[in-house]
Structure 1
């Protein structure tokens, strides 16, 4: 028996809609029959030119996560929000603790705006696996890491894991506000997104060697990530956090193939490559999401 689906106003907002995830969400939601409010920080609309489906139901909003009224305008009339943070163009990336404050303020503003928008029934908040895996007792855990675990903010700060710290604190801020304002919030904690422009400088990769050794270095394909977002939105039984990945980097071969994708040159395998076939035990579970997505259909839904 298929899970119950979300039946409400078919207008949803995607914020920020300018990145790989946002653009793909917009296109998939349009294909499923939704009217989509695509909220972007930049003032150009050219990023939507490549959308192959009918754009009649696409409305573009220029929305700044630090401009409360612009968020309200984008959310007006929507039953749901797909929120993922994209750093402002004039702000640095995850090089220091400054980005923590930026991402937390953005999350707070967006959740507060949702609380003030009567039509919003559900919020899908994109977070990261990095908000889960960094723990002082990582090697001594009796079972796999799952959605019940949180990264240790003191550990993240100590080792300057700014991406993990930002994602952890921003997600905790969103959950606190959602509980206080009775917002129906679900989070999707994504592994490293295998996007075309992925490079070795991606902040998720800070501590990659440690994640690999711990069996918690995971990646996710864009189509799978988009499907997970739509699934947790449409399924009325979804709740809490969902760890989202469809590949575990836990062998020398996996690590070498990823290194080739991340660098412009093709690195040579280490001398021990042919002899070292040791598989690191996977110590992170996405069982909760996989169970929810068993009956999910990624094709058109609405008439």
Structure 2
């Protein structure tokens, strides 16, 4: 169970300029944390994402420019913090995933975990990964998949699934180093993050049709993803990896709705009654996270969690 109060805890969020990071900063401040918001390669104009901070009025917030490829800047941002929430954001000059992005993401993960190992105050790291680091392999379809499974790196390379390749190799690198350095780390393997700026070019969507057919195409809402990060950080019993999603695209209607959202101008294909009524078996389990969040919510640490999160789909 989580401790009753976090008013004296200091945590770092990196990269705080991304959509997940900026919302994590906001939520952590709301529940009493002091936050080191580490932004990379972005000109800071007094706001992170939708958050505006005027003239340092919020004494619990400190902004750092931390480049994951600059070790010293990471250690500066981590100084005095008991925890780190880390999510990789592609460099501004290379915003899309390609065959070289895995090297960048691995190097960043290695630097960040090593910096945590050199920071005496760090008690826990929450590492943001992706469901794409779980679902891809030559042996699809398997009967079921959960956090114990890893995407096959060679398969990802063969099919040019660069997002899955990067997330898998970077997360494996982080785990190997965390175990070697004795760092308490948990990972959140999120589904496709839904939101207003989602487009068909999102690298997660490479292979979307296959994920749909295999029953492994999952999405997550921002509030649910943020709460999951805070839950696994605060709960002392959390361990290992957590698949994080609250919707499964496994009906033809769901797939059509998502396609409309991603490409509004493209006409929807006609569907037969049989297609409309087909439900593909969900083969990805989020029970591990659901159980932790149920226990956590009953402790009252995330008092607004139940209002923010839609009902999860059981399998």
Q: Is the aligned partner of 1:85 residue 2:88? A: yes
- Residue 128 of structure 1: aligned partner: 130
Q: 1:104 is matched with which residue?
A: 106
What is the CA deviation profile of residues 233-252 of structure 1, one whole-angstrom value per residue up to 9, with x for unaligned ones?
Answer: 00000000000000000011
1:209 & 1:184 partners in 2: Cα distance? 36
- Distance of 2:281 and 2:105 partners within structure 1: 33
Aligned ranges for residues 1-303 of structure 1 at < 5 Å? 3-5=1-3, 10-41=9-40, 42-48=42-48, 50-51=50-51, 55-94=58-97, 96-139=98-141, 141=142, 143-265=143-265, 267-276=266-275, 277-294=277-294, 295-296=296-297, 297-299=301-303
CA distance in 1, matches of 2:21, 2:82: 17
Residues 1:6 and 1:153: Cα distance change in structure 2 (over 3 Å): farther
Question: How high is the TM-score relative to the length of structure 1?
Answer: 0.93
Structure-2 change in CA distance of 1:27 and 1:281 (3 Å): same
User: Any idea what SS the aligned residue of 1:138 has?
Assistant: coil
| Partners of 2:18 and 2:49 within 8 A in 1 | no
Q: CA deviation at 1:298?
A: 2.2
Aligned length: 294
> Would you say the 8 A contact 1:4–1:237 is kept in 2?
no
**Does the CA contact (< 8 Å) of 2:99 and 2:162 recur in 1?**
yes
SS at 1:293 equivalent: helix
Q: What is the root-mean-square deviation in Å for CA atoms of aligned residues?
A: 1.8
Superposed displacement of residue 50, structure 1: 3.7
- Alpha-carbon shift at residue 137 of structure 1 (Å): 1.1
* 1:84-136 alpha-carbon deviations (Å, 9 max, x no partner): 00011122420x21100000000000000000000000000000000000011
- Shift of the alpha carbon at 1:283? 0.3
State the distance in 1 between where 2:208 and 2:200 align. 10
| Runs of at least 5 residues in structure 2 that lack an aligned partner in the other structure | 305-315
Question: Structure 1: how far apart are the matches of 2:52 and 2:94?
Answer: 32
Q: Runs of 4+ in structure 1 displaced over 4 angstroms?
A: 6-9
